[in-house]
């Protein structure tokens, strides 16, 4: 998988996604990969994950493999980590200063790797004495810089995550906010759509998955239904993730109550927990039947016009009958009463 690279003025920036797979530098014949390992080489892990007490240190290894033909000097770096909206891990670009677990890692500034060879680079993770309990995300990476024949610098970066769980009281919890909107149809015989948007925030100190459930309820329980939102994976402590759900066949019943419930779920069996209350949020959305009311208004106007027209018709008929009767009596010489 190729490393992704981005541009930022005349400064170096990191690739927009971290992967532990071969990567090619933009405009160069450099291809490399970075994987966790031990002093002997790769050990089959996808990333580093460990549990530590405050003040504890651990030495790990990153294996930088040069898949090209030429010797390359790779810049090595560490940074705070985070998860994107899609649940993929990333780390801060090189032009942003780390303030958390990215500063716990010490590693050499660079490593030179001959073509077709690999170098094992040790690095040390040291948990501060005052580190708070819970999950702390960071990453390590190897990168190359190229200009691609222009003035704008490009940094292509490949690496893996380093997850540290500091021992202590763990708090798997979520906060939830929700909003909803209703879109009716011009055709009064078609139902509308309720769109529900929600934001899940990890208010605890463990990274979580979440399974949102959305319930739509009309007046007096009319048109009740519950749907499952897409599972949200890997929410790090302090991060917020968003989701939306569209519920069709929503007739304009005046208003709907919308309830969103999200159950925190462990990211793996090894990091399981239980007895956690789900987060919930409730909102109300107006669903006014304007097209239907317009049809009723037009129907009422038509009925009123029709009744008035019939009344005028009957009155005119009665007047014509009375006039004809009077004329007939006059011709017959019968006095008109």
The answer as to whether 5 is a domain residue is no
pLDDT of residue 252: 87
**Is 104 within a domain?**
yes
Tokens 């909107």: give the residue.
181
**3 within a domain of the structure (yes/no):** no
At residue 29, does pLDDT exceed 80? no
- Is the pLDDT assigned to residue 291 strictly greater than 90? no
Q: pLDDT per residue over 138-161, tens digit each? A: 999 999 987 655 555 678 899 999
Contact 219, 284 (CB under 8 A): no
Is residue 45 in some structural domain? yes
Phi, psi of 325 (to 5 degrees): -65, -40
State residue 108's pLDDT score.
98
Across residues 190-199, what is the average pLDDT?
93
Shared-domain flag, residues 279 and 297: no
pLDDT tens readout for residues 227-260: 999 999 999 999 999 999 999 989 888 899 999 9
Which residues are paired to 293 by β-bridges?
none
Has residue 322 got a pLDDT over 90? no
Same-domain check for residues 284 and 203: yes
> Bigger pLDDT: 11 or 159?
159
Beta-carbon contacts of 301 under 8 Å, excluding residues fewer than 6 positions away, are none
Q: Nearest CA to 105 among 155, 143, 144, 160?
A: 160
The residue among 166, 188, 218 that closes a domain is 166
Least Cα distance to 136 among 169, 103, 111, 97 occurs for: 103
Asked, for residue 10, whether it belongs to a domain, the answer is: no
Tell me if 98 sits within 8 A of 79, measured CB to CB: yes
Q: Which of 166, 182, 198 delimits the end of a domain? A: 166
| CATH number of the domain that residue 234 is part of | 2.60.40.10
Instruction: Please determine, for residue 264, whether its predicted confidence score (pLDDT) is greater than 90.
Output: yes
pLDDT value of position 2: 34
The closest of 187, 170, 98, 104 to 135, measured between CA atoms, is 170
pLDDT band, residue 5 (cuts 50/70/90): very low
Per the structure, the count of domains in the chain is 3
20: DSSP letter? S
Residue 259 lies in a domain: yes
Per-residue CA distances from 69 to 274, 312, 331 (Å): 52, 100, 126
φ, ψ for residue 167, nearest 5 deg: -65, 155
- Residue 223 pLDDT: 77
Output the average pLDDT for the chain.
Answer: 85
- Looking at the structure, tell me whether residues 58 and 150 fall in a common domain: yes
Same domain, 159 and 29: yes
* Dihedral angle of Cα 240, 103, 127, 48, to the nearest 10 degrees: 70
List own/partner pairs for 39-43 with CB under 8 A and 24 or more apart. Answer: 39/120, 39/122, 40/120, 41/118, 41/120
In this structure, are residues 245 and 227 in contact, taking their beta carbons and an 8 Å threshold? yes
- Within-domain flag for 184: yes
Residue (of 128, 182, 144, 158) closest to 21 by Cα position:
158
Q: What is the predicted pLDDT for the residue at 11?
A: 25
Per-range mean pLDDT, top range of 3-12, 85-94, 138-147, 172-181: 172-181
- If asked whether residues 280 and 294 sit together in one domain, one would say no
Residue 74 lies in a domain: yes
Find out whether 43 and 21 touch, Cβ atoms under 8 Å.
no
- Are 282 and 302 within one domain? no
Does one domain contain both 194 and 119? no
* Residues above pLDDT 90, as percent of the chain: 61
Same structural domain, 227 and 141: no
- Whether residues 206 and 274 share a domain: the answer is yes
- Examine the domain organization and report whether 216 and 231 are in the same domain: yes
Q: What pLDDT, on a 0 to 100 scale, did the predictor assign at position 148?
A: 58
Provide the pLDDT for residue 297: 66
The per-residue pLDDT for range 83-100, each reduced to its tens digit, is 999 889 999 998 899 999
Determine contact, residues 206/170, Cβ cutoff 8 Å: yes
Question: Residue 150: what pLDDT?
Answer: 55
Q: Print the domain residue range for 129.
A: 23-166
What was the pLDDT predicted at 292? 59
- Are 80 and 36 found together in one domain? yes
Q: Are residues 189 and 211 in the same domain?
A: yes
Neighbours of 32 (CB within 10 A): 24
**Residue after which a domain boundary falls, among 132, 150, 166:** 166
Number of other residues whose CB lies within 10 A of the CB of residue 95: 12
| Distance in angstroms (rounded) separating the CA atoms of residues 19 and 161 | 9
Q: What is the pLDDT, as a whole number, of residue 77?
A: 97
């Amino acid at each position: 998988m190729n490393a992704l690279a981005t541009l930022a003025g005349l400064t170096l920036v990191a690739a927009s996604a971290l992967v532990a797979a071969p990567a090619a530098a933009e405009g160069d014949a450099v291809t490399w990969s970075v994987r966790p390992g031990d002093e002997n080489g790769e050990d089959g892990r996808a990333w580093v994950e460990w549990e530590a007490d405050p003040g504890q240190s651990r030495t790990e290894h990153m294996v930088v493999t040069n898949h090209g033909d030429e010797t390359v000097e790779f810049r090595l770096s560490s940074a705070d980590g985070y998860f994107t909206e899609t649940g993929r891990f990333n780390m801060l670009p090189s032009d942003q200063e780390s303030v958390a677990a990215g500063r716990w890692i010490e590693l050499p500034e660079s490593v030179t790797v001959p073509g077709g060879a690999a170098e094992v680079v040790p690095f040390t993770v040291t948990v501060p004495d005052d580190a708070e309990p819970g999950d702390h995300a960071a990453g390590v990476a190897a990168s190359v810089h190229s200009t691609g024949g222009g003035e704008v610098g490009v940094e292509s970066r490949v690496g893996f995550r380093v997850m540290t769980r500091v021992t202590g009281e763990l708090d798997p919890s979520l906060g939830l906010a929700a909003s909803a909107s209703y879109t009716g149809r011009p055709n009064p015989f078609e139902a509308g759509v309720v769109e529900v948007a929600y934001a899940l925030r990890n208010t605890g100190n463990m990274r979580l998955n979440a399974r949102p459930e959305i319930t739509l309820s009309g007046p007096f329980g009319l048109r009740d239904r519950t749907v499952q939102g897409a599972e949200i994976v890997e929410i790090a402590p302090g991060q917020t993730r968003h989701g939306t759900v569209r519920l069709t066949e929503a007739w304009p019943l005046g208003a709907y109550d919308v309830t969103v419930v999200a159950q925190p779920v462990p990211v793996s069996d090894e990091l399981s927990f239980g007895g956690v209350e789900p987060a919930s949020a409730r909102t109300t959305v107006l669903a006014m039947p304007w097209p239907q009311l317009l049809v009723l208004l037009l129907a009422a106007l038509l009925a009123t016009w029709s009744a008035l027209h019939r009344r005028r018709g009957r009155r005119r008929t009665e007047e014509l009958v009375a006039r004809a009767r009077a004329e007939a009596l006059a011709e017959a010489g019968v006095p008109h009463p």
